[in-house]
Structure 1
Amino acid sequence: MPEQNQSPAVQSLRKEQKQQRSRPANELDKALEDTFPASDPASLTHTAVAGGIGPEADRFGPQEQSNNKLAAFAVERRIRERPIASLLAAAAIGFVFGVTR
């Protein structure tokens, strides 16, 4: 059995790589290489972090936020009480959305 380095696939890959190295780079490759470090300088130095409060948070007052939290806890409680029924309901809703699209 031939070695893995001598298989036809490996030989073909090496031949193709050699051809790619020997031919001159096209304009797109040169342009990308020339602009690479400067193409996205912000992401190279630090990650972007959202700051402040968005307009969505300003619309809701503290009372509405607490009502939303209570509703979320009620839904979570119902799901924990009947997990299989909740799973079946979610599957049925997903099926209906999938069929209607």
Structure 2
Amino acid sequence: MTPPKSPAVEALEQEQARQSREVGSELEDGLEATFPASDPVTATIPSIPTGIAPSPSEEAGFGSDAPLVDKALAATREPEQTDGTTFASSREELEALKVEVGLLRESASEIGSATLRVAKAQAADVLVNLKERIRRKPLPAVGIAAVIGFVWGMTR
């Protein structure tokens, strides 16, 4: 039989349970706020060519980051009309999709160039660290170079 818990232990357990619930809800809120997490963050403000931007009243109905894509998808669910208005709106939607693809392409190129800059900076840091180690301990560096040269020479 277990002894009864003291009020301090009960209060501690209650506080831990409350904190775990709060942390869980904060985590869920954070995940919902960043969904989808695979979308890259961009510091640029994309510009939309004139004549394609939807009116503010049309944008208010869409809650996503790509309202033009939402508008195009909603239009594909509507039955096609035989007059020219549906075809004209389809062209506008196609142009909007082209703009979105262009923005995605631009974001991907920015990510690629940033990754290249980071890789170059890390390689430069490794080179600087290696030079510092060789200056501090030149004899072990020469010994390691000799062993590497010997092994390389034996394999050729």
Same fold (TM over 0.5): no
Q: Which has the higher helix share?
A: 1
Question: Which TM-score applies when normalising by structure 1?
Answer: 0.39
Question: Which TM-score applies when normalising by structure 2?
Answer: 0.26
Which of the pair has the greater relative contact order for Cα pairs under 8 Å at 6+ separation? 2
